[in-house]
C-alpha cells in the first residue's frame, strides 16, 4: 500500500469514526445495564458457638427490631470474612453491599435481580442450636426478621432503582424445598420484598400474585414493552414438598403461558428470571455414581417449560437462573434457527469452595438482547487480595436482526 493511498484510507476511516458521513450511516445501538446476584445464604449465627447456653448474639437478634440488627452485628460480630466451605457471614454480606453500592454509582444499572436463596443452609437447625427455641412461631418470626434485615440493607444500597427478588429453595418457613401455596411465608415475604420496588404498578403486581406461589411480573419503568417474569421454580423441583404443590406448579405454568401470550400479542420483550434451573442436576447425578441421571425439575414441568420456550422464542430474550453457585453460560436451542441464551448468576456464599461473585449485564436498550456480562469476585483464598475485582467480561455473539413486523422471526443469535 503506497503512502498516498494509505493517507487517503486513514482519512476516510477517521471521518467514519467521527460520524461525519451522511445520515445513511446507522447510529450506534444504545445499551443499558442491570446487576444480578444470588445465593447469598446469609448466616446470622456465624459468630455463635454451640453450648448448653443460648448464644448471646442470637438472643439479642431475637429481641431486637430488624433495623437494630446492624448495630448488634457491628458490636458482637467478627469483621473477618468467612473461609471457603462456609456460608455468608455479616462481614461478607456487608462487603458485598459496599461493592454493590459502588457498582450502582459507577455503572448506573436500570434495575437489580436477586435470584433466590437469601437464607443460610440448615437455617432451622442452626436456629434451634443457638437460640434453644424449638417453637415454630419463634423460628418463623426470626426468618421473617432476617429477610426484613437483608431487604432493608439492599434497599439502602439501591435507593433509586427497582430490585426484583426471586424465591430460592432455602427461602421458606418450612425448610429446604418446602412451600405452602397461599401460605404465611408468601404473604409476609410479598410485603417485605415489595419495598424493593419503587414503581407502584410493579409493586402492585408483586402484591397481587406473589402471595399465591412466589411469582410475579414487572415492566421496566423506562420501557413498558420490556418485562421480567420472576418465577418460583422451587414449585417445579423434583424435591418440592408441601400441600397442593403440583396444583400450585400447574397454576404457575398457566400464568406463565398467559404472560407469554400477552407478550407476543403486544410485541413485548421478556426476560425469565428464577432460582432453580431446568436440566440435569450434575451434582446429584455424580452422587449417584452416574447410575441415574437426576433432573432439577419434574419431567412434566420441564417438558412444559421447554414447549413454552419453543412456542414463544420470538419474545423471550434470555433466561437467568442461579442455584448452582457457579458462573455459567448456555444456549437453549429451540429450533434450527437458533436458541435462547441462559446465563447463570454465581453465588455470594463460598460454601462449595468457590469465591463470592456476582454479575453486571449489558443489554440492548431497544430489544433487551444481552450484549455482554462482567463477573466480579472476591478472592478469599488469596491473602494478598485487594477486595472485589473484575474476573472477566464476555461479549456475547451478535444476533442476526430480521424483520420485527408480523409473525416473522425476531432477533436470534448468529453463530
User: For the chain, what are the domain ranges?
Assistant: 34-43+84-117+141-413
- Please write the tens of the pLDDT for every residue from 168-212: 999 999 999 999 999 999 999 999 999 999 999 999 999 999 999
Distance CA 235, CA 297 (A): 9
| Integer angstrom CA distances of residue 391 from 148, 324, 341, 355 | 31, 18, 21, 11
Averaged pLDDT, 65-75: 97
What confidence tier does 13 reach under pLDDT thresholds 50, 70, 90? very low
Is-contact 360 107, C-beta < 8 A?
yes
How distant is the alpha carbon of residue 257 from its chain centre? Answer: 21
pLDDT at 398: 59
All three cell numbers of 61: 437478634
How, if at all, do strands 328-335 and 338-344 pair? antiparallel
pLDDT at 383: 66
Averaged pLDDT, 104-110: 97
- Please write the tens of the pLDDT for every residue from 280-307: 888 888 887 778 889 999 999 999 999 9
| Segments of 53-125 assigned E as strands | 111-114
Residue whose C-alpha cell is 413486523: 405
How, if at all, do strands 216-220 and 223-230 pair? antiparallel
Distance CA 290, CA 105 (A): 46
CATH of 34-43+84-117+141-413 given 3.40.50.10800, 3.20.20.20, 3.30.1540.10, 3.60.21.10: 3.60.21.10
Which of these ranges, 148-162, 205-219, 336-350, 353-367, has the smallest mean pLDDT?
336-350
Please determine, for residue 88, whether its predicted confidence score (pLDDT) is greater than 50: yes
Please determine, for residue 161, whether its predicted confidence score (pLDDT) is greater than 70: yes
- Starting at the earlier edge strand, list the strands of the sheet with 338-344: 216-220, 223-230, 269-273, 316-320, 338-344, 328-335
Residue whose C-alpha cell is 461493592: 99
* Winning range, highest mean pLDDT, from 18-22, 49-53, 54-58, 151-155: 151-155
Please determine, for residue 20, whether its predicted confidence score (pLDDT) is greater than 50: no
Give the gyration radius of the chain's Cα atoms: 23
Taking alpha carbons only, the member of 200, 73, 244, 202 closest to residue 146 is 73
Distance CA 363, CA 197 (A): 21
| Integer angstrom CA distances of residue 370 from 19, 336, 342 | 25, 20, 10
Please determine, for residue 224, whether its predicted confidence score (pLDDT) is greater than 80: yes
Give percent of the chain above pLDDT 90.
78
pLDDT at 8: 39
> 3-state class of 7 per DSSP?
helix
pTM higher than 0.75, yes or no? yes
Residue whose C-alpha cell is 468457590: 354
pLDDT, mean over the chain: 89
- Please write the tens of the pLDDT for every residue from 331-345: 888 877 678 999 999
Which of these ranges, 206-210, 255-259, 276-280, has the smallest mean pLDDT?
276-280
Taking alpha carbons only, the member of 381, 364, 411 closest to residue 34 is 364
Please determine, for residue 256, whether its predicted confidence score (pLDDT) is greater than 80: yes
pLDDT at 407: 28
Amino acid at each position: 500500500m503506497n503512502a498516498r493511498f494509505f493517507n487517503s484510507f486513514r482519512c476516510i476511516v477517521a471521518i467514519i469514526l467521527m460520524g461525519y458521513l451522511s445520515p445513511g450511516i446507522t447510529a450506534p445501538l444504545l445499551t443499558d445495564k442491570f446487576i444480578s446476584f444470588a445465593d447469598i445464604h446469609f448466616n446470622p449465627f456465624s459468630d455463635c458457638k454451640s453450648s448448653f447456653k443460648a448464644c448471646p448474639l442470637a438472643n439479642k437478634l431475637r429481641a431486637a427490631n430488624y433495623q437494630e440488627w446492624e448495630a448488634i452485628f457491628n458490636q458482637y460480630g467478627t469483621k473477618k470474612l468467612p473461609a471457603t466451605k462456609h456460608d455468608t457471614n455479616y462481614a461478607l454480606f456487608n462487603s458485598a453491599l459496599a461493592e454493590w453500592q459502588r457498582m450502582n454509582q459507577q455503572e448506573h444499572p436500570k434495575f437489580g435481580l436477586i435470584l433466590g436463596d437469601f437464607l443460610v443452609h440448615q437455617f432451622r437447625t442452626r436456629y434451634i442450636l443457638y437460640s434453644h427455641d424449638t417453637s415454630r412461631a419463634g423460628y418463623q418470626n426470626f426468618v421473617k426478621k432476617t429477610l426484613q434485615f437483608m431487604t432493608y440493607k439492599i434497599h439502602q444500597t439501591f435507593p433509586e432503582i427497582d430490585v426484583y427478588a426471586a424465591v430460592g429453595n432455602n427461602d421458606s418457613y418450612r425448610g429446604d424445598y418446602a412451600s405452602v401455596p397461599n401460605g404465611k411465608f408468601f404473604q409476609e415475604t410479598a410485603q417485605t420484598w415489595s419495598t424493593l420496588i419503587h414503581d407502584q404498578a410493579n409493586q402492585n403486581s408483586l402484591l397481587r400474585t406473589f402471595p399465591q406461589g412466589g411469582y410475579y411480573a414487572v415492566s421496566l419503568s423506562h420501557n413498558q414493552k420490556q418485562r421480567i417474569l420472576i418465577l418460583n421454580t422451587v414449585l417445579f423441583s423434583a424435591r418440592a414438598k408441601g400441600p397442593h404443590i403440583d396444583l400450585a406448579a400447574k397454576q404457575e405454568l398457566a400464568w406463565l403461558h398467559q404472560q407469554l401470550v400477552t407478550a407476543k400479542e403486544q410485541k413485548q420483550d421478556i426476560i425469565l428470571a428464577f432460582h432453580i434451573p431446568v436440566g440435569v442436576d450434575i451434582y446429584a447425578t455424580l452422587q449417584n455414581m452416574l447410575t441415574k441421571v437426576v433432573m432439577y425439575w419434574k419431567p412434566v414441568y420441564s417438558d412444559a417449560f421447554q414447549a413454552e420456550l419453543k412456542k414463544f422464542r420470538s419474545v423471550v430474550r434470555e433466561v437467568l437462573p442461579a442455584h448452582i453457585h457457579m458462573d455459567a453460560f448456555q444456549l437453549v436451542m429451540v429450533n434450527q434457527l437458533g436458541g435462547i441464551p441462559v446465563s447463570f448468576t454465581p453465588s455470594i456464599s463460598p460454601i462449595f469452595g468457590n469465591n463470592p461473585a456476582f454479575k453486571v449485564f449489558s443489554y440492548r436498550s431497544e430489544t433487551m438482547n444481552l450484549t455482554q456480562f462482567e463477573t466480579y469476585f472476591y478472592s478469599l483464598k488469596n491473602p494478598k487480595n485487594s477486595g472485589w475485582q473484575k474476573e472477566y467480561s464476555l461479549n456475547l455473539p451478535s444476533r442476526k436482526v430480521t424483520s420485527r413486523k408480523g409473525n416473522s422471526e425476531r432477533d436470534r443469535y448468529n453463530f
